[in-house]
Amino acid sequence: MREIVTKLDALREIAMDQHGFVTTAQAAGEGVGSAQLAMMVRRGRLDRVAHGVYRVPQVPANRYDNWAKAVLWTGAPEACLSHETALAAWDITDINPDRIHLLVGRGRRLRRAGGERYVVHHHDLAPERRTWFERIPITNVSTTVEQCIDWGTPTYLIRQALERTAGTSRLPSQDRERLAQKLEDRDHGR
């Protein structure tokens, strides 16, 4: 017997791996156009949550939803969590950023509504400096700490991150030493 998969089922499959979200571009890849998306929203099958981002209500919400939605909101395939948000995700400091930090490519310009709660940084990041956290793209720990030093994150939080990662595989000792020196140079105005 052949199984019939509806377009909503196809969108739900995508959303299962993205904290319940699907983008307009991903929907188009499944043959679901903007008119069909609008109809699904009217019928309560999808919720429009941001520019080009929809939530499939049948997928349970979790505490990482806002981070996943923020990355998808950019519409950039290279986008990832970065800076102080990544530092919070790695749970190596007591930081609690008031906005979500995102990294996109240097040449990418975002002109879309809904980004008031986001800080968008532009930098071309080498693939090995990215990884995954709870199925969300994110900068690795070394890159995150370096970004926070450059961004001006308070010294005590950076030191906390360096101390909490000491002796772990999260931050290799050569990176830890390099970052400690960079923090020292920043704090002494070199």
| Per-residue pLDDT tens over the stretch 8-65 | 999 999 999 999 999 999 999 999 999 999 999 999 999 999 999 999 999 999 999 9
Range of the domain at 30: 7-55
Q: Are residues 34 and 103 located together in one domain of the fold?
A: no
Write phi, then psi, for 87 (nearest 5 degrees).
-60, -40
The count of domains in the chain is 2
Q: Which residues contact 88 (CB under 8 A, 6 or more apart)?
A: 95, 96, 97
Q: Are residues 46 and 80 located together in one domain of the fold?
A: no
Q: Is residue 60 part of a domain?
A: no
Q: What is the pLDDT of residue 116?
A: 87
Write phi, then psi, for 112 (nearest 5 degrees).
-140, 150
Please check the confidence at residue 4 and state whether its pLDDT lies above 80. no
Q: Are residues 26 and 75 located together in one domain of the fold?
A: no
User: What does the alpha-carbon distance between residue 105 and residue 78 come to, in Å, rounded to a whole number?
Assistant: 7
At position 97, the amino acid (one-letter code) is P
At position 15, the amino acid (one-letter code) is A
User: What does the alpha-carbon distance between residue 111 and residue 67 come to, in Å, rounded to a whole number?
Assistant: 19
Q: Are residues 91 and 15 located together in one domain of the fold?
A: no
Q: Report the DSSP pairing between strands 100-104 and 118-122.
A: parallel
Chain centroid to CA 111: how far? Answer: 18
Q: Is residue 38 part of a domain?
A: yes
- For range 162-188, the mean pLDDT: 94
* pLDDT tens string 121-147: 999 999 999 999 999 999 999 999 999
Write phi, then psi, for 116 (nearest 5 degrees).
-60, -30
Q: What is the pLDDT of residue 1?
A: 47
Q: Are residues 72 and 18 located together in one domain of the fold?
A: no
- Written as six digits, the tokens of 166 are 């000491």
* pLDDT tens string 57-92: 999 999 999 999 999 999 999 999 999 999 999 999
User: What does the alpha-carbon distance between residue 40 and residue 22 come to, in Å, rounded to a whole number?
Assistant: 13
Q: Are residues 47 and 82 located together in one domain of the fold?
A: no
At position 168, the amino acid (one-letter code) is T
User: What does the alpha-carbon distance between residue 8 and residue 182 come to, in Å, rounded to a whole number?
Assistant: 50
Q: Are residues 71 and 132 located together in one domain of the fold?
A: yes
